[in-house]
Amino acid sequence: MSESKESPCPDCGEMVRVNSLRCWNCGAFMNPELEEKYLEMQAKPQQTIFSDLPDSEVSSLADDASTEEGGDDDFELSMPSKTPAVTNEAGALPSDLNDPASTDPESKRSAEDAPVKSTGDDIFNIAMKDEKQLQKQRRKRAQRGGMKTPGGGLIIFCPYGCRIVVKESHRGMQGKCPECRAPFIVPVDPPNFRKEKTSDDSSSKEATKEGFEGWLSDLHLHNVNPEKLKLKADSLLKEFTLADFGFSDDQLVVAVYTKKARAALGKSDGKNDPRTALKAELQAGKKGENPDLAEMMTFSKDDLAQIKVVQPVASRADSIFHGITVFGEGRISIQLPHVEGKNEILYVSMGLTQFWEFQKLVEEKYGVTSLGAGAGIPSEHEYESYRCHFLETQIKALKNLEFYKADETVELEAVGYQCGKCQATVSEEGRKREGLGGKTAKGIPKAKCPKCSSKMGDNTLYGIKQEAEEPATAGAM
């Protein structure tokens, strides 16, 4: 078999004749060693050597000038011949031609010692810098196997240099040149271009999936008409609609489900769950109507700077409710921004632990700080220590108990009991061991205090119920 007369270009992959110096398509060197030598030669050009003029030539120039000044007796006028004009950079004649003092040896020595100013080196350096920049860009450029035309086609060349216009869909196909009938192959996209394209697509998909990581479910949304408001404790406790709050980096979404969709929450698989479907739509950026939603409101980052806690408040003058717990004892209520087209004022009420999460999200996403500051809302679990009268053990009971009793997400358990008169405390374990108040502690309010013999009263100490640890299984003997 005959050897191939063409070899692929190392840069663009085009077939080039053997022993060619450069690729006809992209101009890259076919031999990397020659390319390195070329770059070395371009980086280190041959230095220009300046030789000194002989003294005879310098002196003859002065002698000629002196003879010209001698006399004009033998001068004859003749027609001037056409000679090319010689211009001086300084725009004046040399001083040594008109000034006799320039023939002084000291002036000659100073003229010889003066550096010769030449702009040739500067121009050469600029050209070399441009050439290096061009080579650098050529290496980094993503070769796509041809130049594009305004109509969306590609300009390529056949092996004999004929210019051909093909379509993007012809990549990877073989054809014949219409001029010389030489076979050619339309180049395909380089592998690097494909990788970059796929990586960009994957990153964009991941970006669309991000957002709305913060999600609070089943918060109480209240639509309050100030004209019909009754300033009475618990007047708005049962007048609410369950709503989900979704937090993204630039907006807050409040979603109210239909009765049918709310009945299906958590009962179907993940794909058909209305809450999961809503999250997926919001993360994908879809803004179409959702049949599972009865109402959806969106608040921008600037709007959320207006939110404030209206229950509890540090001063009664800070709220239209004047310190009355209209949303229920121990519940925390926040006034939302005004919605255009609504006459009612929107409020959302929640328990303590939900408020902590809400407060954290609005601070991280929207920069809302000090929400509810100074209103007496605890920022973490706070405990008070007591000592059991029977066992002499420590009892840790929760402070601010009204917030925990109103929080539906917190399960409380009795950890001790306190006498209303002498403040003596008994732990739950001590009560069980001594049988105080009966087996189920229902008789504690009427039971006698072990210290002062008065009735204990209903002063139960509570703590957060801990999940029982599973007993470790013993290994087989």
pLDDT tens-digit map of 215-238: 999 999 999 999 999 999 999 999
The whole-number pLDDT of residue 467 equals 65
More confident residue, 477 or 296: 296
Q: Are residues 399 and 436 both part of a single domain?
A: yes
The stretch 160-167 carries a mean pLDDT of: 83
The stretch 130-141 carries a mean pLDDT of: 66
Q: What is the pLDDT of residues 36-45, one digit of tens each?
A: 888 888 777 6
The whole-number pLDDT of residue 103 equals 47
Q: Are residues 263 and 184 both part of a single domain?
A: no
Contacts of 86 (CB under 8 A, 6+ apart): none
The whole-number pLDDT of residue 126 equals 77
When mean pLDDT is compared across 153-157, 222-226, 267-271, 409-413, the lowest value belongs to 267-271
Domain range for 346: 214-366
The residue among 366, 392, 413 that closes a domain is 366
Q: Are residues 311 and 427 both part of a single domain?
A: no
Q: What is the pLDDT of residues 379-430, one digit of tens each?
A: 999 999 999 999 999 999 999 999 999 999 999 999 999 999 999 999 999 9
Cα gap 461→397, rounded to integer Å: 6
Domain presence at residue 355: yes
Q: Are residues 297 and 337 both part of a single domain?
A: yes
CATH of residue 223's domain is 2.30.29
Q: Are residues 246 and 292 both part of a single domain?
A: yes
The whole-number pLDDT of residue 294 equals 93
Q: What is the pLDDT of residues 232-260, one digit of tens each?
A: 999 999 999 999 999 999 999 999 999 99
Instruction: Encode 32-68: b = buried (16+ Cβ within 10 Å), e = exposed.
Output: eeebeeeeeeeeeeeeeeeeeeeeeeeeeeeeebeee
Q: Are residues 218 and 328 both part of a single domain?
A: yes
Q: Are residues 392 and 444 both part of a single domain?
A: yes
The whole-number pLDDT of residue 48 equals 60
More confident residue, 288 or 157: 157
Domain presence at residue 34: yes
pLDDT, averaged across the chain:
78
pLDDT band at 76 (very low <50, low <70, confident <90, very high): low
pLDDT band at 49 (very low <50, low <70, confident <90, very high): low
Q: Are residues 311 and 359 both part of a single domain?
A: yes
The stretch 142-164 carries a mean pLDDT of: 69
Domain presence at residue 81: no
pLDDT band at 207 (very low <50, low <70, confident <90, very high): very low
pLDDT band at 329 (very low <50, low <70, confident <90, very high): very high
pLDDT band at 91 (very low <50, low <70, confident <90, very high): very low
Cα gap 48→52, rounded to integer Å: 13
Q: Are residues 249 and 290 both part of a single domain?
A: yes
Domain presence at residue 132: yes
The stretch 163-170 carries a mean pLDDT of: 79
pLDDT band at 98 (very low <50, low <70, confident <90, very high): very low
The whole-number pLDDT of residue 220 equals 97
pLDDT band at 190 (very low <50, low <70, confident <90, very high): low
The residue among 208, 238, 261 that closes a domain is 208
pLDDT band at 300 (very low <50, low <70, confident <90, very high): very high
The whole-number pLDDT of residue 157 equals 84
Q: Are residues 218 and 114 both part of a single domain?
A: no
The stretch 344-358 carries a mean pLDDT of: 96
Q: What is the pLDDT of residues 3-32, one digit of tens each?
A: 678 888 888 888 888 888 888 888 888 888
Tally the C-alpha atoms within 13 A of residue 468's C-alpha that lie toward its C-beta.
3
Number of domains in the chain: 4
Q: Which of 324, 348, 375, 215 is nearest to 279 (CA)?
A: 215
> Which range among 138-142, 153-157, 439-443 has the greatest average pLDDT?
439-443
Q: Are residues 119 and 258 both part of a single domain?
A: no
Domain presence at residue 9: yes
Q: Are residues 288 and 401 both part of a single domain?
A: no
Phi first, then psi, for residue 109 (nearest 5°) are: -65, -40
Say whether pLDDT at 60 is over 60. no
Cα gap 231→237, rounded to integer Å: 12
CB 142 within 8 A of CB 193: yes
pLDDT band at 319 (very low <50, low <70, confident <90, very high): confident
The residue among 366, 401, 430 that closes a domain is 366
pTM: 0.56
Three-class SS of the chain: CCCCCEEECCCCCCEEECCCCECCCCCCECCHHHHHHHHHHHHCCCCCCCCCCCHHHHHHHHHHHHHHHHCCCCCCCCCCCCCCCCCCCCCCCCHHHHCHHHHCHHHHHHHHHCCCCCCHHHHHHHHHHHHHHHHHHHHHCCCCCCEECCCCCEEEECCCCCEEEECHHHCCCEEECCCCCCEEECCCCCHHHHHHHHHHHHHHHHHHHCCCCEEEEEEEEEEECHHHCCCCCCCCCCCCEEEEEEECCCEEEEEEECHHHHHHCCCCCCCCCHHHHHHHHHHHCCCCCCCCEEEEEEEECCHHHHCEEEECCCCHHHCCCCCCCCCCCCCEEEECCCCCCCCCEEEEEECHHHHHHHHHHHHHHHCCCCCCCCCCCCCCCCEEEEEECCCCCEEEEECCHHHHHCCCCCCEEEEEEECCCCCCEEEHHHHHHHCCCCCCCCCHHHCECCCCCCECCCCEEEEECCCCCCCCCCCCC
